[in-house]
Structure 1
Amino acid sequence: MEQAKPTRMELIRVKNQIKLAEQGKDLLRQKMDALIQEFFLIMRDVSDSRFELEAIDASARHSLHLAVAVDDSVAVRSAALATRRGVYLDISGKNIMGVPVPVLEKKVISKGTFERGYSVLGVSGRIDEVAEKFERELDLIIALAETETSLRRLGEEIQMNRRRVNALEQVVIPELKEMAKEIKIAIEEREREDLFRLKKVKKIINRRKEAEKAEA
């Protein structure tokens, strides 16, 4: 803690710092509460999306195993190679309580039967079902990537705000209050010393006046 000058101006300055620190602590706590509320709202969406993803993944794998068993793996592999394409996403951003989070444009990966690139006459309905389910799974993965990234960034911001609140509450404000206390004690001590010296000087003056009167 820095050494403060024991003056009334310094005491006023430190008290103003305490007031600002307490206001900052309250604002940070309010922001943290709002972030936590938003965090749990997004967490609910993430939990639902994960459950849905696990379900569609299990269903897609089951359909894949069935297609391989009935249509043979060569037909399934040929259809998969025919549908290989890139996945393009538009990524932008938004702010949640001042926290930047990504926004992925919801491009639906699912395609119609005639859009997948393979011959409709060359594959069975089972292979179409496999393609449809894995396309749906990819849609969910993209959506989940956005919400999970938002969740992670909100969590980091909550932790950072918590550290700031704790620093103000446990370190900065107590040190400023201790500094204000020391300044006040120093000012009161100096005022007592000044008063003592003033009384002493007054006594000396009174004695001299009395001595002058006695001589006269």
Structure 2
Amino acid sequence: MDKKKQMSDTMRLGVLLAIAGGFLDAYTYLCRGGVFANAQTGNMVLFGIQLVSGEFIKALYYFLPILSFFVGIIVAEAIKHHFCDHPKFHWRQIVLLIEVFALVIVAFIPQGQLDMLCNIMISFVCSLQVESFRKFHGMPYASTMCTGNLRSATEHLYNYRMTKDKKTLTKSLQYYIIIAFFIGGGALGVLFTHSISIQAILLPALLLFICFIFMFIEQAG
């Protein structure tokens, strides 16, 4: 199945995943104790700050999502290894179902003492996603963080300026579209989290389930 055109290699899925990625970062920051679930760089910096300050319990608060992200990468690779030739499901669909299941659980965990557990679960979800969905239209990208996307978009824009190759411009614009939808996802995360609090996370769960369905459609096509 991987030898054919990837079902996950579409702008449609890339956009939905980017919206979900931006939403989850806003959600965890606003609603689950100021932790970043997607890009672990911020958590690594905050972990180091707490260690130097001697705040070891607080340091653990940032270390556990990092560890969860690490575990998620391993799990995604294991799923790929064991289910890459499954006759009915693409292995990435299995990943999506795990993501949806985890986010639905988080939606019903109360705020407060269990926020750390929620951040661990969401970091796990994001690591599954970033490891499993790595390309759209054959181009490498990330749906849960945008630093690399911004670099690629701007690099292609500069190359277009030098070569006037319209294909290069198209690639640049596609990256910027992904970035725009990631930002839009973050904005939606703010609006929905302020409106319905912890259960706002059901929206990205729904988006991921739609991705799951779309992959059947792509497969049939």
TM range (shorter): under 0.3
Larger Rg: 1
TM-score normalised according to structure 2 size: 0.26
TM-score normalised according to structure 1 size: 0.26
